[in-house]
Every structure is written in structure tokens, then in C-alpha cells.
């Protein structure tokens, strides 16, 4: 780092420790949450930069869904999509699905961090529980944003005609971050209750598929049996898919409602996960 000195410095190693003698000043409380969100997102980006294999392996599943499922149902032409080719209709659903999977399994990552002591140590820093959870939720969002862009590119390569309007793409990223914040907090909440990795893995697998099928990701709500329609209506994933379709394909949707549902869901998720996070440390 520093230039090589002409002669070895006569002073001891401690002479360089000027900065370490003064403790950092506390930040005003209102700046804690944004500061921690930045810290957690930076870590997530650093990890992505070091190891990109996850980026590639996570691209396989959505590609298969679009190629096999999308192509087959494109031909069968049995799903009423309102005149859109089925593969186009499916693409936003797959963006939502694949980012949800990443977020749900983020809770496992939290348990791993607990077991390895990383989380324990973060819990002893001047970071309120809510700030830590919000930070982790947005860090999961960073992962999801990258995934959404990857799926977008795959879809484009497969000939899906999605929008490339910058404002709509920003909207897509915002939707994906909010959705991931909710699902990662759901997962952290379950982690706080289940407390072990195996149990969480089981619960995670048990809930992701129902969440996926009880949403409009694969087919419009109107073609579901009525009991499933009720579940779909309270499933935040449906609002995420709806918003993504509206933004990327221009299908009719109530964007303010979609955003409102996602914001409220994320806020509730953060509150629940913050309340249970302390349990993980015990």
C-alpha cells in the first residue's frame, strides 16, 4: 500500500496506528438503517464479484422453464393469455419465480451465518435488529436484481419481445427488490422459528412450490378454481408477477395497487423477521 521506505522506519509498528486510537463517532439514529443497508449490499456485491458460478448455475432453471415449458404451451395454445404468445406471458412469471427462490433460500444463508458466528458478531455491533434485517433483505434484493437481468437477457435471446424502455426496466428492478425483501424476510422469520438449517430447508421446499403454483406466474388467475383464486389474491407473488407483466409486456394491471401490496408485505416481513432475529442468536 504505502511506498517502500528508503530506510526501515525507526519507529515501532504502533506508530502507524494513529487512526485506531480514536473510536468512530456514532451516527444519528435515522442514518443507521440506510448505512447498514449499504454495508450489507456492498458485501453481497463483493461476493458476487468473487464467485460468479452461482450466477451461471442459477440461469439454468429459468432457461429450462422458458424453453421447455414455454415452448410446449406455446404450441398447445390452451392458456388464455389475452393474445400474447405464451412464452412472452411466462417470462415475467419466471423472473418473479426465480428471484423468489433465491430470496426464500436466503434464510438458510442466515442460519449458516449464525452457525459460523458471522451473524452473532453482527448482532453485537451497533446495528438495531431492524437495520440488520433490512440490510439483509436488500442484500437479497441485490442478488435478485442480478438474477432478473440474467433472465431478461435469456428471454430476449429466446426471442421474447419484452420492453427495453429504461424507466420500465427500473420499475422491474424495484418490483423485484420489493418482492425479494418480502420473501427473504419470510424466510428469515421462518429461520427464527425453525432455528436449524435442516428444518428450514424442509419448510422452504414445502412453501416455494405452493407459492409459485398459487399465483398467476404460469396461468391467469381467472382460469384457476375459486379456492385457488382466493390464495392467489393474498399471495404477494401474484402482485409481483402482475406488476412485472404490466411493466415488461404492457398488459393491463393496477400498478399502484401492486406496488402498495409489495411495500406493505416487505414492511410486515421486516417487522416480523426483526422480532424473531434475536431468537436465532440464543
Residue 1, interface with other proteins (CB under 8 A)?
A: yes
Site for other proteins contains 39 (CB under 8 A): yes
Does the protein bind other proteins through residue 13 (CB under 8 A)? yes
Phi/psi of residue 65, nearest 5 degrees: -55, -45
Q: How many CB atoms lie within 10 A of CB 222?
A: 9
Which residue's CB is nearer to other proteins, number 10 or number 18? 18
**Residue 245: partners with Cβ closer than 8 Å, 6 or more residues away:** 89, 92, 93, 251, 253
Q: Establish if 42 lies at the interface with other proteins (CB under 8 A).
A: yes
Q: Are 242 and 216 in contact (CB under 8 A)?
A: yes
Q: Return d(Cα 39, Cα 61) in angstroms, integer.
A: 30
Q: Kindly identify the residues of this chain, within the stretch 101-120, that bind other proteins according to CB under 8 A.
A: 115-118, 120
d(CA 245, CA 239): 10
For residue 236, the tally of other CB atoms under 10 A from its CB is 24
Of 4, 21, 206, 226, the residue at the interface with other proteins (CB under 8 A) is 21
Near other proteins in 136-175, by CB under 8 A = none
Regarding 27 and contact with other proteins (CB under 8 A), the answer is yes
Nearest residue to 147 (alpha-carbon basis) of 55, 238, 217: 55
Does 46 help bind other proteins (rule: CB under 8 A)?
yes
Residue 209: exposed, middle, or buried by beta-carbon count in 10 A (0-12, 13-18, 19+)? exposed
| One residue of 9, 80, 126, 202 binding other proteins per CB under 8 A | 126
CA distance 151 to 66: 9
Contacting residue, 24, 83, 159, 256, with other proteins by CB under 8 A: 24
- Number of residues located near other proteins, criterion CB under 8 A: 42
The three grid cell numbers given for residue 89, joined into one nine-digit string = 406471458
Nearer to other proteins, 32 or 181 (CB): 32
From the list 33-41, 141-149, 168-176, 199-207, the region that binds other proteins by CB under 8 A is 33-41
For other proteins, give the closer residue by CB, 42 or 156: 42
Instruction: Please report, as ranges, the residues that interact with other proteins according to CB under 8 A.
Output: 1, 13-14, 16-27, 32, 35-36, 38-39, 42-43, 46-47, 50-51, 115-118, 120-128, 278, 281-282
Amino acid at each position: 500500500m504505502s511506498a517502500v521506505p528508503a530506510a526501515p522506519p525507526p519507529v515501532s509498528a504502533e506508530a502507524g496506528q494513529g487512526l485506531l486510537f480514536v473510536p468512530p463517532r456514532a451516527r444519528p439514529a435515522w442514518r443507521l438503517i440506510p448505512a447498514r443497508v449499504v454495508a450489507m449490499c456492498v458485501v453481497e456485491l463483493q461476493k458476487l464479484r468473487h464467485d460468479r458460478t452461482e450466477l451461471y448455475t442459477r440461469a439454468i432453471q429459468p432457461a429450462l422453464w422458458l424453453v421447455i415449458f414455454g415452448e410446449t404451451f406455446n404450441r398447445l395454445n390452451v392458456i388464455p393469455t389475452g393474445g400474447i404468445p405464451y412464452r412472452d406471458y411466462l417470462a415475467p412469471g419466471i423472473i418473479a419465480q426465480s428471484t423468489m427462490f433465491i430470496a426464500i433460500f436466503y434464510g438458510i444463508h442466515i442460519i449458516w451465518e449464525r452457525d459460523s458466528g458471522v451473524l452473532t458478531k453482527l448482532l453485537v455491533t451497533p446495528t438495531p435488529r431492524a437495520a440488520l434485517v433490512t440490510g439483509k433483505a436488500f442484500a437479497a434484493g441485490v442478488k435478485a436484481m442480478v438474477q432478473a437481468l440474467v433472465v431478461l437477457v435469456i428471454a430476449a435471446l429466446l426471442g421474447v419481445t419484452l420492453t427495453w424502455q429504461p424507466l420500465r426496466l427500473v420499475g422491474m428492478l424495484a418490483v423485484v427488490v420489493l418482492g425479494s425483501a418480502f420473501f427473504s424476510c419470510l424466510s428469515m422469520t421462518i429461520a427464527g422459528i425453525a432455528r436449524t438449517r435442516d428444518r428450514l430447508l424442509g419448510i422452504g421446499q414445502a412453501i416455494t412450490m405452493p407459492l409459485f403454483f398459487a399465483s398467476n406466474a404460469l396461468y391467469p388467475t381467472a382460469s384457476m378454481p375459486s379456492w385457488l383464486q382466493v390464495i392467489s389474491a393474498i399471495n404477494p407473488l401474484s402482485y409481483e408477477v402482475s406488476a412485472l407483466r404490466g411493466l415488461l409486456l404492457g398488459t393491463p394491471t393496477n400498478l399502484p395497487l401492486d406496488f402498495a401490496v409489495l411495500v406493505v408485505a416487505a414492511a410486515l416481513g421486516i417487522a416480523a423477521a426483526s422480532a424473531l432475529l434475536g431468537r436465532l442468536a440464543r
